[in-house]
Amino acid sequence: MGFLAPVPARSFTPYAASHLLWRAGFGGTWEEAEELSSRGLDAAVDALVDYTPSGDHFVAPEAIRTPPESPHAFEARLKAIEDEDIRQKERQEYYRVENDLIRDLQAWWLSRMLASAPLPGKIPPLEEKLTLFWHSHFASGFPDKIRHTYPLWRQNETFRSLAIKPFPEQLKALIQDPAMLVWLDNASSNRGNPNENFARELMELFTLGVGHYSEADVKEAARALTGYSVEREDWSFRFRESAHDPEEKTFLGKSGPWGGDDVIDILCAQTAAADFMAGKFLRFFVCTAPDPEMIAAVADLYRSNGYDLKSLLHTLFRSELFYSERAMNSVVKSPVVLSVGALKSLQAPLPEADLLLGALQVMGQELFFPPNVNGWPGGADWINSNTLLVRYNFANFLMHGVSPDAFKTQDRKMIDRTASRREFIATERSAAVDWQPRAQIEESGAARRMLSARDVVDYFLREFLQRKPARDLRDNLIRLAETDGAGGTRSMNVRDKDFDERARGLVHLIMSSPDYQLC
């Protein structure tokens, strides 16, 4: 377990602190990385991991927190309408409201991510980063099977409140989560006719992985979960005792009159559970392809500490492995991390909701719309010929506004579902964020150090890339900064009349570089 030993305290430079901010959150400014580094490794990790839950801070809009009209009441209201055209319009309006609410929920969550910081009174970055992790791990979404925003908001809040709690506690909450019970068809599962979908995914995707259970185990777990249902009037969990199978079951070699909590306890007693989750945590927080010995060491630590994620992250975020060459700057930023991190560096608010949500959709990560029950695969799968172009166009969109083809992709199927709202190809629009580079530099006190194009380039590389750049990237940026429109040589100074325009061009190129796609 040598690679889990803590790094020397002197190794916790601002570059290392920036790495920690990206992996345990959504990045930040260079100044924040310097401040975190000045605290020292132990204090920095404690500030991120031992966070105070946000609780009622920054709550969702009231319309999202209001249970929708129940299916029974809705159908009764429609039945009372004699005119078929009016009935159809009412039905369309009912779902239009939900379409708007799910967008509001997406924007609210992104706002929380952007507002997060490792400071007292702020939203904890790790709380939101783990909520994003669990959102993909326990994937369920809109509009397939769940046509309402309210249960997805409640599920999101459950993930947040239990984000760093022990795994068994999270799983026992999951099997009572109304959105998940509907998504995986367990709400109508009853004795004599158990639905096996939830039981299968609970083992295959959530706890053990393929090859660590049998078809007989799926059937027995499904029997144990019968009666775990949903009250559709208010989207609350309801245990229907009359639908539950109380007879003896044999699950993973253990026999008894098992219910849902018993299934969770038996699952967490399996060696494969810690192994499975260790691999997931390593791929999300550390490196894309962890070695078997890494997984085994992390699994042993996770299991021996009673699946205590807080203890595990304390060790990981201090470890030689976490700050190794293999781990640093090796993970492809997800579209959400890329976008929120860019806005943090720009110190800018969220752009207009439709614009940002549209960008995330075509980059491949639309919150509350996971591609399937497996969630988002992540890693190198974030990058292909379509999404890479959109990533580059997203940087251009932030710096200069939307170009005519900014968010088009070759695969129109990605946007046909909501093309009228999400295909943003306006020919004229102001910049998405009102970023004033000169003002930011002057406010930071760095203006007096901007004596040459090299100084300017180094400043923006530090602010946005937050690591030592490849030599060719730096050289090319300096060459660009020192070249005028006619191909001649010119200086670049923060006092130049066109400084903001030229600075935006430099930052656009930084954000469009291969290096910027990684953290």
What's 140-178 look like in SS3? CCCCCCCCCCHHHHHHHHHHHHCCCCCHHHHHHHHCCCH
Question: How many CA atoms does the CB half-sphere of 97 hold within 13 Å?
Answer: 13
Q: What SS3 class is residue 237?
A: strand
- Neighbouring-strand partners of residue 6: 319
Closest CA to 247 of 208, 219, 213: 219
pLDDT tens, per residue, the chain with 519 residues: 689 999 999 999 999 999 999 999 999 999 999 999 999 999 999 999 999 999 888 999 999 999 999 888 988 898 899 899 999 999 999 999 999 999 999 999 999 999 999 999 999 999 999 999 999 999 999 998 999 999 999 999 999 999 999 999 999 999 999 999 999 999 999 999 999 999 999 999 999 999 999 999 999 999 999 999 999 899 999 999 999 999 999 999 999 999 999 999 999 999 999 999 999 999 999 999 999 999 999 999 999 999 999 999 999 999 999 999 999 999 999 999 999 999 999 999 888 888 889 889 989 999 999 999 999 999 999 998 888 888 888 888 888 765 434 455 434 444 344 443 334 333 344 567 889 999 999 998 988 888 899 999 999 999 999 998 988 999 999 999 998 877 888 889 898 899 999 999 999 999 999 999 999
Tokens representing 440 are: 């930011």
- Neighbouring-strand partners of residue 229: 238
Contact (Cβ atoms closer than 8 angstroms) between residue 330 and residue 288 = yes
Long-range contacts for 480-484 (Cβ within 8 Å, ≥24 apart)? 480/505, 480/506, 480/509, 481/453, 481/456, 481/457, 481/506, 482/453
Helix, strand, coil abundance in the chain, percent, nearest 5: 55, 5, 40
Contact (Cβ atoms closer than 8 angstroms) between residue 275 and residue 267 = no
Backbone angles phi, psi at 391, to 5 degrees: -60, -45
Tokens representing 331 are: 């993970």
Amino acid at 483: T
Cβ-in-10-Å burial (0-12, 13-18, 19+) of 297 comes to buried
Contact (Cβ atoms closer than 8 angstroms) between residue 113 and residue 363 = no
Q: How far apart (Å, rounded) are the C-alpha atoms in residues 322 and 382? A: 22
pTM: 0.94
Q: How far apart (Å, rounded) are the C-alpha atoms in residues 366 and 361? A: 5
Instruction: Return the residue matching tokens 């194009």.
Output: 453
Enter the DSSP assignment of 213.
Answer: S
Q: Roughly what angle, to the nearest 10 degrees, separates helices 453-460 and 471-481?
A: 130
Contact (Cβ atoms closer than 8 angstroms) between residue 403 and residue 396 = yes
